[in-house]
Structure formats: structure tokens, C-alpha cells
Amino acid sequence: MTILVTGATGPIGRNLVEVLTTEGVRVRATSRKPQEAALSTGVEVVPTDAPGAEMFDGVDRMFVFPFENGVDDLMTAAVAAGVQRFVVLSSLAAAGELPREVASSSYRHHLAIERSVTSRTDNWTILRPGTFAGNLLSWAWPIRSGGPVRAPYIQSAQPPIHEADIADAAAVTLTQDGHRARIYPLTGPQSLTRIEQVAAISAAIGREIELQEITPDEFRAETARYIPEDIISMLLAYWSETVTTPDPVRPGFAALTGHPGRTLHQWAQDHRTAFTAA
């Protein structure tokens, strides 16, 4: 079995490549800069923007990363080349369960990605993770430099998911049978307030972290230079709503993967060097 992993050099992709190669699966990976991909030995890396024979030769299954552009062309080429099974990285937002989700750019983007796949094949599985624990790396710089974490809606609660758990869910659905035409919502195992999320990082690095609550307008002003406006609006709507209604843990992860989801404390341990001074 050969599995093509797109988006292989990101946090999920790297974990997925690692799990698959450890299981003895042959992996081909994509990157815009194959020479710099630095994946495990034995993993062939091909350019992302050249979906042709080099990419698909011998490939049976594919992990579909939700690139901003190019997924339609990738899927058309993959199906024409005979790839049989597709596991798609989407987002919980694509479920459109709430008005704030339907209003988000994430909903439109991930729904379009899902349709790129489901309109071309019946052999698909969709993974819909909620908020990534990795988003908390935006606190790495203030924490490393000893400053306070400044965040709005600190009483809001979410269940952040470890990237390794998303990779495990992808590995299971790529390599085991019984997941055809299934959609899996995925979250971390605990809904934690932003105060508790900071505390998890604090416990991992062994020192107090000051948390300052700021207003939504202050957050907008402080992040406008590096976060697109539609994402800022989506985040503020999410945090504001999850003050009174915590974002719940979605069940099913343990049944899917055979192990409980990794806690945020585990994630913080795994990333503690990102939060400590060099």
C-alpha cells in the first residue's frame, strides 16, 4: 500500500507520516520545497504543484490537505490516476451547526474542500477537527519573553485537540476498513477555559504565567497586522459564544483510534520548549 500525504510538512502531516512509516506503510509526501521537507528517511517527497505521474504512480490512498487553492486539480488528477481512497482534513466549522459557523470563511472553505472530494469519488472519509491546541502557540512569544498573555473572553471554554490525535485518526481511516462515507467530528478530551489552558502551559513549563483579559477591540487592534479580518471575527464570535455555552467534547475519538485523546497538559508538555526561553 502506498499513501500520498499532502500538506506533509505541517504539524498534522509530520505526525501522520511518522505513524504510517512506523506501521510499515510506504509513504509519498508533497511539499512546495521538497529539498527542505526533512521527513523520515525513505519517504519520497514530490512537489505539491505538479500533480502527475511522479505524484500518483503506485498510490492507492491519499490524505487530502485543505489547501487554499488547487484541491480540485489535485483531486481530478488523483482520481484519473486510479487513487482509490481519500481521507480529507476538514473542520468542525463545515458542519454548519451554528449560525456563527455558517457565517465563517472556514465553513465556506472547508465545505468546498469536502465537495471537491465527494463530487469525484464515493470512497471518502472526512475528518472534522475543532480548534487545534497548536493555535495556543500564538502565546509562545509573550510567554517566552516573560510578558503577560493578553486574551479576550478568558472564561470561554473549548476542547483543543492535539495534532497527533488528528494524525492518528487519519492513519486509522487511511489504513483500516469500515470508514467509507463517514464523517468524524474530532475534539480534544476536555473543554477548558482559556484560564485553564494557560494553567496547562504554566504547569508544563513550571512557572506562573500572567493572563490579562483584554476587550475584543483590543484583540482586534493587537492582531490586525498578522491575522486576517475574517479569522479575527470568527475567533471572537467563537470565544464570545463559548463563555456561556462551552464548546463540548465530541465523543467517538477513543472508539475510532483505540486510545483516549491526548490532554492539553500532554500537548503543553510536548511543546514546552516553544514556551521556554532559548
Ligand X SMILES: NC(=O)c1ccc[n+]([C@@H]2O[C@H](COP(=O)([O-])OP(=O)(O)OC[C@H]3O[C@@H](n4cnc5c(N)ncnc54)[C@H](OP(=O)(O)O)[C@@H]3O)[C@@H](O)[C@H]2O)c1
Name which position in 10, 96, 142, 216 contacts ligand X (CB under 6 A).
10
Q: If binding is defined by CB under 6 A, does position 9 make contact with ligand X?
A: yes
Show contacts with ligand X in window 22-41 (CB under 6 A): 31-33, 37
Give me the 58-87 binding string for ligand X, x by CB under 6 A, dash otherwise.
Answer: -------xxxx-------------------
CA angle, corner 189, sides to 188 and 192, nearest 5? 80
**What amino acid is encoded at 204 in this protein?**
A
Give me the 84-113 binding string for ligand X, x by CB under 6 A, dash otherwise.
Answer: -----x-x----------------------
Cβ-based neighbour number of residue 176 at 10 Å:
9
| Whole-number Cα distances in Å, 6 to 139, 176, 263 | 28, 19, 26
- Closer of 91 and 173 to ligand X (Cβ): 91
- Closer of 136 and 143 to ligand X (Cβ): 136
The helix (run of H) or strand (run of E) holding residue 127 is strand 124-129
Q: Least separation, in Å, of the C-beta of 228 and ligand X? A: 12
Phi-psi region of 171 (alpha: psi -120 to 50; beta: other; left: phi over 0): alpha
Name which position in 4, 27, 28, 48 contacts ligand X (CB under 6 A).
48
Residue number, nearest CB to ligand X: 10
Show contacts with ligand X in window 118-137 (CB under 6 A): 129, 131-132, 134-135
- Closer of 13 and 189 to ligand X (Cβ): 13
- Closer of 49 and 210 to ligand X (Cβ): 49
Q: If binding is defined by CB under 6 A, does position 11 make contact with ligand X?
A: yes
- Closer of 118 and 148 to ligand X (Cβ): 118
CA angle, corner 167, sides to 161 and 170, nearest 5? 115
Measured distance CA(181)–CA(141) in Å, rounded = 41
Question: Three-state SS across 212-258?
Answer: EECCHHHHHHHHCCCCCHHHHHHHHHHHHHHHHCCCCCCCCHHHHHC
Q: Least separation, in Å, of the C-beta of 109 and ligand X? A: 7
- Closer of 119 and 138 to ligand X (Cβ): 138
CA angle, corner 2, sides to 17 and 4, nearest 5? 55
Nearest to 217, CA basis, from 152, 142, 154:
152
Q: If binding is defined by CB under 6 A, does position 7 make contact with ligand X?
A: yes
Q: Least separation, in Å, of the C-beta of 160 and ligand X? A: 8
Binding site for ligand X (CB under 6 A): 7, 9-13, 31-33, 37, 48, 65-68, 89, 91, 129, 131-132, 134-135
